[in-house]
Amino acid sequence: MRLWSIHPGYLDVKGLVALWREALLAQNVLLGNTVGYRSHPQLIRFRETDDPAGAIASYLRGVEAEAKARNYNFDGSKINPGYINESLPVTSGQIEYECSHLKKKLKIRDIEKLKNLESAIEVALHPIFKEVSGTVEAWEIL
């Protein structure tokens, strides 16, 4: 499960579809609708909020917005009706790690998306995140 902190606009089609599916799985885990993946480290930052279900719903809406911008037909009715009105912190080290990880994938799958990411002066984040100083997040599996 990879729930990207960077903006979903950097993802190729395969990555965006995978993100949608994985975030829906994360939503089911956070809602207690599945027994698998309950201790997955990518869920820690959502669980640390006052409203984990609202946080993942807000995350999914950001992914859905990118899909709509590309004229993809993701079913937004699958998103739980929660919402958070706060930004979640993500460290600068985590952002750098994710960019490096995604660049390796895009080098194989989508050169144009790779160029887009490499040319970014400042990497945009998923709308629910804000950058804070720090190293790679403790929950990241390196």
Q: Which two tokens stand for residue 82?
A: 């929660």
What is d(CA 62, CA 57) in angstroms, rounded to the nearest whole number?
A: 9
Task: Please state the domain extents for the chain.
Answer: 8-132
87 pLDDT higher than 90: yes
Q: Environment class of residue 130 by beta-carbon count within 10 Å: exposed (0-12), middle (13-18) or buried (19+)?
A: exposed
Both structure tokens of 103? 């660049």
Q: What is the pLDDT of residues 4-37, one digit of tens each?
A: 999 999 999 999 999 999 999 999 999 999 888 8
- pLDDT tens digit sequence for 28-74: 999 999 888 888 899 999 999 999 999 999 999 999 999 999 999 99
Report the alpha-carbon distance of residue 124 to residue 129 in Å, rounded: 10
This prediction has a pTM of 0.95
